[in-house]
Amino acid sequence: MSMKPIQEGVTRRDVLKVAGLTSLGAALYASGLEKFLPRTLTVEASDQEPFYGTYQAGILTPPQNHVQVVAFDIKTDRRDELVDLLKRWTRLCARLAAGLPYGDSESRYVPPEDTGEADGLSAGHLTFTFGCGPSLFDGRFGIRHKRPDALKPLPTFDLDRLDEKWSGGDLVVQVCGDDAQVVFHAIRNLVRVGRGTVAMRWSQAGFQRSKAADASGGTPRNLFGFKDGTGNPDVSKKQVRKDSLFCQWQDGTPWLTNGSFLVVRRIQMHLEVWDRTILKEQERTFGRERASGAPLGSTDEFASVTPAKRQARGEAALPVDSHTAVAHGDGKTAILRRSYSYQDGIDEKTGALDAGLLFLSYQRSPKQFIEIQRRLAAQDRLNEYITHRGSAIFACFGGISKGGYIGDALFA
Ligand SMILES: C=CC1=C(C)c2cc3[nH]c(cc4nc(cc5[nH]c(cc1n2)c(C)c5CCC(=O)O)C(CCC(=O)O)=C4C)c(C)c3C=C
Ligand SMILES: [Fe+2]
């Protein structure tokens, strides 16, 4: 059945969706009051992630299909201009997360407030997560004394081959969503609103298998074909969130309470070398079965990782240099990985695909990542197949409250 347009681009079905498909929606439509509803994107509450809350969205949110992470350099040294931008970004993000366009001016004599490519699309679980890099505290904005002691560029690890063009940044935003066009629309409008105050330093996009393609909602696979994310800590547990994920007041930086440190690593994966490697060696490299994702020596994907477990002949079931064994260590240090695959055309030097992992991890302290990465750089069998090309660290703010703005605890 074709839908009768109520306003240009808005169908009756849209209006009823805006009103939550309730009897209120039907009543609004029957009364003709629907014309007072904003000219919105298609809105279904189940497609929306709350923008306001104790923690920023995009950390605990179940990973969406797409990510785009953009780091910015600030082009002004005026604190009021920066704060003004953070307030404008807050308004923009709150609207987009609710499935609304940035603005709905209808005048044909000014450029449209919203760029329009997400009109008619749902919010698709769109989330925004903002953070600041060590360079924000270099004295330009009068906040040098507020830099968390732990917020400094990550150390150089053995085997790093970092490129400045994928590293650093004064500010970051991680935008995640289930629809690539909705994510792009969000980034485009953030950049548009920020023009003159900030400039993009780098921008990296990532993807996973779509939820539509995997109705079971199983652990996604990385570009080496292995389930990736199995051993993440159970962040539904309050104690785990407190110990490993979110900064606490007693950590010594009050403005960062309920925030989290984000590490971004662009890790190229040498697919052609991997594809010539026999399955047994691939499995020994990760220390997991490819098909089930189970640690070697077990059959269950979620079996606990026990590097000490021996086979009948006394040999360790899990190779000591396997990625799982080395990353796990004694199991006391946990980070929340929220990584996505990337593909970025052709590696100019080799002619191979430039593809890999946009590694994203959240942790209460950078120490957690550093401790694990030091071990991996020294012993991980996976090192033969990967190269770290980019690196950045950010302190992501605590949650944004209604009436507040992104980073207000830092700038207040
Ligand atoms: C410093 C942190 C880590 C980096 C960098 C890293 C890179 C990296 N990892 C994979 C694929 C897998 N990683 C897996 C487990 C795993 N990885 C880390 C940390 C880093 N990985 C941790 C802490 C763990 C969990 C260890 C545990 O306690 O069990 C796995 C196994 C499945 C899983 O648990 O997710 C895979 C597969 C790639 C491809 C990669 C760089 C390209
Ligand atoms: Fe890993």
Structure tokens at 269: 């994966």
CA-wise closest residue to 172 among 272, 263, 76: 263
Which ligand is closest in space to the CA of residue 267?
A: 1
Distance CA 403, CA 396 (A): 19
Cα(125) to centroid of ligand 1, in Å? 25
**How much is the pLDDT for 308?**
78
Going by C-beta distance under 8 Å and a sequence separation of 6 or more, which residues neighbour residue 407? Answer: 86, 130, 132, 397
**How much is the pLDDT for 291?**
98
CA-wise closest residue to 341 among 169, 210, 186: 210
Ligand 1 neighbourhood includes 386 CB (under 6 angstroms) = yes
**How much is the pLDDT for 44?**
55
For tokens 């750089």, the residue is 377
Structure tokens at 288: 């997991």
Contact (CB, 8 A) for 197 and 76: yes
Ligand 1 neighbourhood includes 338 CB (under 6 angstroms) = no
Handedness of CA 405, 78, 135, 63 (dihedral sign): positive
Query: 176: which strand partners?
Result: 67, 127
Ligand 1 neighbourhood includes 95 CB (under 6 angstroms) = no
**How much is the pLDDT for 70?**
98
Contact (CB, 8 A) for 20 and 45: yes
Query: Which atom of ligand 1 sits closest to the CA of residue 386?
Result: 42
CA-wise closest residue to 323 among 349, 289, 286, 274: 286
Ligand 1 neighbourhood includes 340 CB (under 6 angstroms) = no
The residue contributing the CA closest to ligand 1 atom 2 is 373
Amino acid at position 200, single letter: M
Cα(323) to centroid of ligand 1, in Å? 7
Cα(327) to centroid of ligand 2, in Å? 7
The residue contributing the CA closest to ligand 1 atom 35 is 229
Backbone angles phi and psi of 327, in degrees to 5? -65, -35
Contact (CB, 8 A) for 198 and 72: yes
Which ligand is closest in space to the CA of residue 230?
A: 1
The residue contributing the CA closest to ligand 1 atom 38 is 357
Contact (CB, 8 A) for 44 and 15: no
Query: 67: which strand partners?
Result: 176, 206
Q: In testing the pocket of ligand 1, which one of 337, 338, 382, 383 has its CB within 8 Å of the most ligand atoms?
A: 337
Ligand 1 neighbourhood includes 363 CB (under 6 angstroms) = no
Structure tokens at 234: 């159970």
Burial of 286 (0-12, 13-18, 19+ CB in 10 A): buried
Tens of pLDDT, residue by residue, the chain (412 residues): 233 232 333 332 343 344 333 333 334 334 333 333 443 444 456 899 999 999 999 999 999 999 999 999 999 999 999 999 999 999 999 999 999 999 988 899 999 999 999 999 999 999 999 999 999 999 999 999 999 999 999 999 999 999 999 999 999 999 999 999 999 999 999 999 999 999 999 999 999 999 999 989 999 999 999 999 999 999 999 999 999 999 999 999 999 999 999 999 999 999 999 999 999 999 999 999 999 999 999 999 999 998 877 777 777 889 999 999 999 999 999 999 999 999 999 999 999 999 999 999 999 999 999 999 999 999 999 999 999 999 999 999 999 999 999 999 999 8
Query: Which atom of ligand 1 sits closest to the CA of residue 373?
Result: 1
Number of helices followed by number of strands (H, E) in the chain: 10, 11
Query: pTM of this prediction?
Result: 0.90
